[in-house]
Structure 1
Amino acid sequence: MEDPQGPLVDTIRVELFAERIGDSMRLVASFLFILCYLLSFGQTMTDALRFGQQGLGGSARFTAMSGSMGALGGDASAVAVNPGGLGIFRKGQGIATISYDYTSNMVDHYGTSTQATDDKGRLGNFAVVLTSPFDYSNWKYGSVIFGYRNKDSYEERFEAKGVNTESSYLDQYFTDIIDEPNLYLEDIPVYFPFGAGLAWNSFLIDTAFGQYYHVNPYYGQTQSRATNNRRGMSEYYLGFGANYEDRLYLGATLGFTSVNVLSESTYKEEMIPNSPFGLVEWSQYDRLQIKGSGSYAKLGLIYWVKETIRVGLAFNTREKLRLTENYYSSINAEWDFRDETFSESPDGYNEYIFRTPYRVIGSLALVRIKRGSVNADVEYVDYRSMKFEASPEFGTDYSKANNEIQSTFGPSVNLRIGGELMYGPLFFRGGTAYWGNPYKNGNHHDKYRVSTGLGWRKSYFFVDLSYGYEWYSDWKVPIHYANNVTLAPSTVDSKRHLVSLSFGIKFQE
């Protein structure tokens, strides 16, 4: 609703708000709008992909071969691919891994490149495998495993900066408001508590002569975004495996996942000199934290077709993650001719359930060939099976988000190849992995990995070292808003270096 009195000052806003505050129907409507807004805040395609994809964390042997162990088994982390690998064990073992990773992100934004780096050390995995021979004629060995694996944890920073002559993020907030023609002025912060309402309260959007306007109409500003992401996804698992006639190996695992994701970003627009309305710069800070846990089951088998050929097959169920979100936003503006303005959102909170996609893995291994082994995994992932669901406490309708999943994502195939060569007590390892593009349009998010490593094994203990290098291909991150304007998106060249060191002991029969 347009303001018939022209530009508003603070006292007029307060008086208008006081006049309306007794209108209970309007307040109820506003409350319902806020509730719907809060509950849908985090359900984006980024969230879906964040939990739908999996990393290759684990033991140094596992990471040295890029996680390609589906038909080899015999490693505490290999059960992440195929639990049938538990049947390969003839002796129990204990293992622990420490890892260090370094990430580097080069962002190109309107022709300006900016690099940001981060690094972190952590526990990669630990596990205990207990193995015992069976007294039955056909069943040879049985194994039990209890372990921890850092599935996919890292810290990364992104910084993008460039001059935008065609749009401002205030365009988005301006459009949000004018698309609600019956909206009372005092209800703008209520209807848009995390976006346009903050811009309104900071005087970045106002009214004059019965019309809305924002304070950056001519563009040309230096635009930037700095983002810090911390992702922690780890799992505890319990598994059982058995060896049938040294030919068929069966296994199953039950796992429990822990999730802790923190994303903080600051978006800024620095105005050109002598900009209209005296604005110097404005910035928006956003913070999102997601925590939760979930459970899953995996089934697998390995079959010895010939003396040197094994095949493997595994199925990973959809994981049910129960997640909570806490989020907050604020806007700060600096001016030439007035005091600094500031506005902050309420503390947002949400609970929901997310189901990850199911996975089917087929594997082929050549073993005992010239002192070495080679394995190849083909993993089918149907990202369309990802789904948001309402928690019992929040009866939210996620049909829109789930329809967007169906229209955005499709099936994908991941490939992994790895091998090791034995020379006395030494093992030389290498591998490569490719994560297929989960998007239907095929334009972004291919991911690659190459890795190598060494191992030293004796009768009672072993030590393994690995190095992995991952990179993303053409990951597009638009940080601007443009209505009917074609702008080249920001692109990110993301690289990750991972070093792992494992120590293990073997239990004697």
Structure 2
Amino acid sequence: MKIKYILSVIAIVAFTQNSFAQYSQDAIRFSQTTTGSTSRIKAVGNAGTAVGGDLSNISGNPAGLGFFTRSEFSITPEYDASRSKSTYFGQAGTASRNSGNLNHAGLVIYNQLTKPAGADKNKGWLSVNYGVAFSRVSDFNQNIRYKGSNSTNSINSYFASQANDFGIDEGSLAGWAYDQQLIDTYTSGYGANNVGPTTQEAIINRTGGQSGIDFSIGGNYSNKLYLGLGLSFTDINYNSYGTFYEDGTLSVLEGPAPGTPTDRNFSSAYSQNQITKGTGFSARLGVIYKPTEAVRLGAVFTSPTFYNIDDIYYEGLSSKVGSNAQNDNESDDYRLNYNLRTPLKIAGGAAVFIKHFGFITGDVEYVDYSSAHLGSNPDYDADYRDNGEIKSLYKSAINAHIGAEARLTSFFLLRGGYGIQGDARKENGSDIKTTSGGIGLRFGSYYIDATYAHSTGRQNIFPYDIGSTSPSAALRNSNNNGYLTLGYRF
């Protein structure tokens, strides 16, 4: 198992105030986005590459805007219930979080092109339509909690490894641990003062998401070929607050020098907090072709997103040993501004329409997460560690979606779908699988679409890194999402 990859309780690990933090995990976190879409497209597994004529095309395949023959507006709020089940040294735990967001809102303006008198109105460029949308492309809201008895090692072993690597300078994490008697000097270097097993518990709270403003244009050529171009301006808002608690027994030196080893109960809390904000932009080029009236073939190329990111990280360590007073230390803010280039994406799909009865659609998307790249600057050497870890620890992935819509009556539609988001990690994770279903109601120019989606995935997280003996918690994550789209055609 490649323990070098640490999906830590927060996202980065600060070694000392004057060293660097680990940003490779953030690079992948901010690269794993989904296409913002309406409830209708969510219900069919988010397989919208070849469908066309849906406001999701503003944020997805802009060629689909060419199918509109009227202007249209919709808004899609979302309710998300996330749950994380953990197993840590055989002990089970659960944490949950509920949140509500605006998932998508879009407007398309239909612009029919004029034809000379006597010209065939079904040949040539028939319309060029414009769209603007807000879309939420990732959700970071999650609570995680795990607890267990560790008889193998302690987080104090991690503090000792930092002391051996970087020293115990004043204000450093290792220096705090030394001053608080969690570690001490031994013949072979710094080591943990632990005696026997420890009880460990981690509590992590994450909030935020990624959202974008999308501008798209799509044209219809002879009702056969549809071309589109889109631009997206994306924001990152990620907050993570976590504390790792440990209780056990230490052997500390007491009395006149050199001191007498004495066993004392101890409790400690190591906190890591991260606030990350950023802005970026990307472009999309899409096409949909109709070889027959019933078949649509679509493809979309999405450029890398180029981000400028501001990151703030701070940490703290507090402990109480025996009857001594509690010791508390907290760092200054570690601030860094850096650039991130996410991977490009290529997607292709097909949709088959069965007259007015509905359609079946599917698509696949390719993403090479190992191509994500962090930019170096005078304050940060991204090539020293992080870019190398991106290439060695992450891989390419396939995202696949399939779904169908059935028109049961003139005003009632039924939908279902299934999607797989491929895992970016070579180890310690799994694909995210989503099952979805929904209904649609049509009332003249107005419509309502409702969708339920259930997603599941697994991952292992490591609270601290001490090599091959690093402990890990196995997480089984699930999300239950509800979407409601209210739309109007005019």
In 2 relative to 1, CA 205–54 (structure 1 residues): closer, same or farther, beyond 3 Å? same
Residue 502 in structure 1 maps to residue 482 in structure 2: no
Q: CA deviation at 1:70?
A: 0.6
Match of 1:8 in 2: none
Q: Which residue identity lines up with residue 467 of structure 1 in the other structure? A: Y
Q: Specify the code of the residue in structure 1 equivalent to 2:313.
A: Y
Separation in 1, partners of 2:190, 2:48: 61
Q: In the TM superposition, what is the alpha-carbon distance from 1:125 to its structure 2 partner?
A: 1.5
Deviation, structure 1 residue 210: 10
Report deviation, 1:66. 2.1
Is 1:214 the equivalent of 2:192? Answer: yes
For residues 437 and 211 of structure 2, the distance between their equivalents in structure 1, rounded to whole angstroms, comes to: 23
Q: TM-score with structure 2 length normalisation?
A: 0.89
Q: Which SS does the other structure have where 1:235 is aligned?
A: strand
State percent identity of aligned pairs: 26
State the distance in 2 between where 1:227 and 1:331 align: 16
Q: 1:189 is matched with which residue? A: 170
Distance change in 2, residues 1:289/1:42 (3 Å): farther
Q: How far off is 1:201 after superposition? A: 3.5
Query: d(CA) in 2 for partners of 1:427 and 1:210?
Result: 71
Residue 53 in 1 paired to residue 32 in 2?
Answer: yes
Whether 1:96 and 2:75 are equivalent positions in the alignment is yes
Local SS of the residue matching 1:48: helix
User: Is residue 204–residue 243 contact of structure 2 (8 Å, CA) maintained in 1?
Assistant: yes
Alignment of 1:290-369 (within 5 A): 290-369=276-355
Note if contact 2:278-2:307 (Cα within 8 Å) is conserved in structure 1.
yes
Kindly provide the amino acid, as one letter, of the partner of residue 235 in structure 1. Answer: G
Cα separation, 1, equivalents of 2:132 and 2:70: 15
For the pair 1:128 / 2:107, whether they are aligned, the reply is yes
Task: List aligned pairs for 1:102-181, cutoff 5 A.
Answer: 102-136=81-115, 137-179=123-165
Check 1:202–1:457 CA distance in 2 against 1; reply closer, same or farther (3 A cut).
same
Q: Which amino acid aligns with 1:382?
A: D
Q: Which amino acid aligns with 1:380?
A: Y
Task: Work out the CA distance in 1 between the residues paired with 2:49 and 2:348.
Answer: 7
Q: Give deviations 1:382-419, integer Å, cap 9, x for gaps.
A: 1121000035x746343421111111112111100011
TM-score (norm 1): 0.85
The equivalent residue for 1:13 is none
Aligned residue among 262, 265, 272 for 2:242: 265
Distance 1:209 1:394 in 2: 36
Amino acid at match of 1:293: T
Q: 1:456: how far off?
A: 0.9
The residue number in structure 1 matching 2:439 is 454
Confirm or deny that 1:403 pairs with 2:388: yes
Q: Which amino acid aligns with 1:41?
A: A
Q: Which position in structure 2 is the counterpart of 1:20?
A: none
1:379 positional shift:
0.4
Match of 1:74 among 53, 71, 78: 53
Quick one: distance in 2 between partners of 1:370 and 1:48? 44
* Distance in structure 2 (CA, Å) of the matches to 1:411 and 1:482: 28
Deviation sequence 1:408-442 (CA, Å, 0-9, x none): 1121111000111112111111111001222235x
* C-alpha distance in structure 2 between counterparts of 1:145 and 1:211, whole Å: 64
Per-residue deviation, 1:179: 3.6
Tell me the matched-pair count: 459
Aligned to 1:29: none
Name 2:362's counterpart in structure 1: 376
Give the unaligned 5+ runs of structure 1.
1-32
Residue of structure 1 in register with 2:455 after alignment: 470
Is the CA contact (8 Å cut-off) linking 2:22 and 2:386 kept in structure 1?
no
How far residue 200 of structure 1 moved from its aligned partner, in angstroms, is 2.5
Change (3 A) 1:336 1:451: same
